Amino acid sequence: MKRTSNIFYRLDWVVILIYLLLIFAGWINIYAAVYDEQHNSILDMSMKYGKQLLWIFAALIVGTIVLLIDQRFFPLFSSVIYAFTIALLLAVLVFGKEINGARSWIAIGSFRLQPAEFAKMATLLILAKFMSKPNFSVYKIRDLFKIGMYLVVPFALILLQNDTGSALVYVAFVFVLFREGLPGWVLLTGVGLIILFIISLLFSPIVILISLVLLLLLIYIRISLDKRRSLYVAGSMAFLSATFFIANVYMELQMNNYLMVMFPVALYTPFLLFSFARKKLRSGLFLLLFFWGSVGVNYSVDYVFYNILEEHHRKRINDLLGIESDPLGWGYNVNQSKIAIGSGGFSGKGFLKGTQTKFDFVPEQSTDFIFCTVGEEWGFLGSLFVIGLFVMLMIKIIQIAERQRLAFARIYAYGVLSIIFFHFAVNIGMTIGIVPVIGIPLPFFSYGGSSLWGFTILLFILLNLDASRFELVR
């Protein structure tokens, strides 16, 4: 079987069709976003849409080249590609050009390259290579540690470029690990942490603490074997806590309310631990772990929020949670973006008719906020179409992943899915005010050569692997 002549027959053309539709829709919307009367030719090379067309043609050529490469090349050269990308990321830190506060570009003449867009693919390749080794297991701490190392290097370097959005993408690889056997509670804990973080920002610590104590007591009564005893224990604990709290408030003991409520619980904890251990009640142990973990998270949220996060992160989060707003200041982008999308209505204002789009009310509209153009000019129907395309693409990728015979290809496919999903969820989520503003592009859609090429290579490697999946069993 001559693979060079036949790979095109084995390609998944549905994925390619979705891909082509996305880049075409993106290009049309970029045209609308930067449209002005003087330069209204869609082929005008001095404008973003003209350039994007150039990037599209180049991407198609790059994609074709990727398809022509032998599939064995990818696992074989993954380390080299990874090392080369890391070198590029380092180079950016030294020689990089700073745009919008992020030092993410390498400029060669008028041509600018954003290595972070390619680092995702490179990291994924080496991860897939590593995780597809026969003796790999997510239960081995050593292996998990190695995965962490592979991820942390590009993550840290991109963070140093001040490109938080592109760095956070690496968090998405948790899906890959999950598919490869990472216990479900890790994901749940992650979700729990996010929820607790949000709750901690929205409510005062004492309210959360009292709720947690009540929750602890209720669950304790529920799981306890000796109901009467548990009622007694829980009752006395609640009574003590309440007494301490009320005494503190009314007798002005000048003690920390937090400590007053916690003290009785802390007092009872060794006793409970002992009794759960003796009765081999695992759920009881988990309960205590959950309780103290939550208290710890709650206690440290303020620290994380005020000392680790930066000012603009805090503001974006506060804006999202409705704690603070400044529609003319730092909340401007999201506010204008919501206005643009919201004003589109059911069927949109029509191509080139969006006033928010045409009159530049939304900053970064051809790149990170390209979805606004869709929402405004094509309305709910247009938004549904774009979201539909992405969902189809992602479901298709799951399907492709699951039909792979090689672990490498499957892991790689889930990696592609994770990256696309993260970009999709965060990008569209921020334009409609569900996710804090994190500057990452919408895959295949946003303006920019690096991003388009990065995603094209990412996807076309998958197509290549998929098309070649029968080769080794021939």
* Residues at the contact surface with another protein, assessed by CB under 8 A: 175, 178-181, 336, 338-346, 355-356, 358-361, 375-376, 379-380, 383-384, 387, 390-391, 394-395, 398, 401-402, 407, 410, 414, 417, 421, 425, 428-429, 432, 434
Residue 356 or 373: the one with the smaller Cβ distance to another protein is: 356
CB of 210 to another protein, least distance (A): 30
Residue 375 or 454: the one with the smaller Cβ distance to another protein is: 375
User: What is d(CA 416, CA 394) in angstroms, rounded to the nearest whole number?
Assistant: 9
Residue 205 or 327: the one with the smaller Cβ distance to another protein is: 327
User: What is d(CA 171, CA 422) in angstroms, rounded to the nearest whole number?
Assistant: 9
Residue 45 or 191: the one with the smaller Cβ distance to another protein is: 191
CB of 86 to another protein, least distance (A): 28
Q: How many other CB atoms are there within 10 angstroms of residue 18's CB atom?
A: 20
Long-range contact pairs involving 12-18 (C-beta distance under 8 Å, separation at least 24): 12/396, 12/400, 12/463, 12/466, 12/467, 14/396, 15/393, 15/396, 15/397, 15/400, 15/459, 15/463, 16/463, 18/389, 18/392, 18/393, 18/396
Residue 167 or 426: the one with the smaller Cβ distance to another protein is: 426
Give the torsion through C-alpha atoms of 193, 195, 196, 202, to 10 deg. 150
**Residues β-bridged to residue 105:** 97
- Helix, strand, coil shares of the chain, percent, nearest 5, are 70, 5, 25
- End-to-end, the C-alpha distance of the chain in Å comes to 9
User: What is d(CA 250, CA 230) in angstroms, rounded to the nearest whole number?
Assistant: 30
CB of 356 to another protein, least distance (A): 5
Residue 53 or 340: the one with the smaller Cβ distance to another protein is: 340
CB of 380 to another protein, least distance (A): 4
CB of 419 to another protein, least distance (A): 13
CB of 442 to another protein, least distance (A): 12
User: What is d(CA 139, CA 188) in angstroms, rounded to the nearest whole number?
Assistant: 17
Residue 309 or 406: the one with the smaller Cβ distance to another protein is: 406
Long-range contact pairs involving 1-4 (C-beta distance under 8 Å, separation at least 24): 1/471, 1/474, 3/70, 3/468, 3/471, 4/68
Helices (H), 35-171: 48-68, 73-95, 116-131, 141-160, 164-168
Q: How many other CB atoms are there within 10 angstroms of residue 47's CB atom?
A: 21
Token output for 432: 């409609």
User: What is d(CA 291, CA 216) in angstroms, rounded to the nearest whole number?
Assistant: 7
Residue 130 or 175: the one with the smaller Cβ distance to another protein is: 175
Residue 84 or 380: the one with the smaller Cβ distance to another protein is: 380
Cβ neighbours of residue 44 closer than 8 Å, sequence gap 6 or more: 50
CB of 398 to another protein, least distance (A): 5
User: What is d(CA 392, CA 317) in angstroms, rounded to the nearest whole number?
Assistant: 30
CB of 384 to another protein, least distance (A): 6
CB of 136 to another protein, least distance (A): 10
Would you call 149 exposed, middle or buried from its count of C-beta atoms within 10 A (0-12, 13-18, 19+)? exposed
Helices (H), 254-369: 257-278, 282-303, 311-321, 332-342, 355-358
CB of 165 to another protein, least distance (A): 18
CB of 463 to another protein, least distance (A): 19
Residue 82 or 424: the one with the smaller Cβ distance to another protein is: 424
Residue 291 or 444: the one with the smaller Cβ distance to another protein is: 444
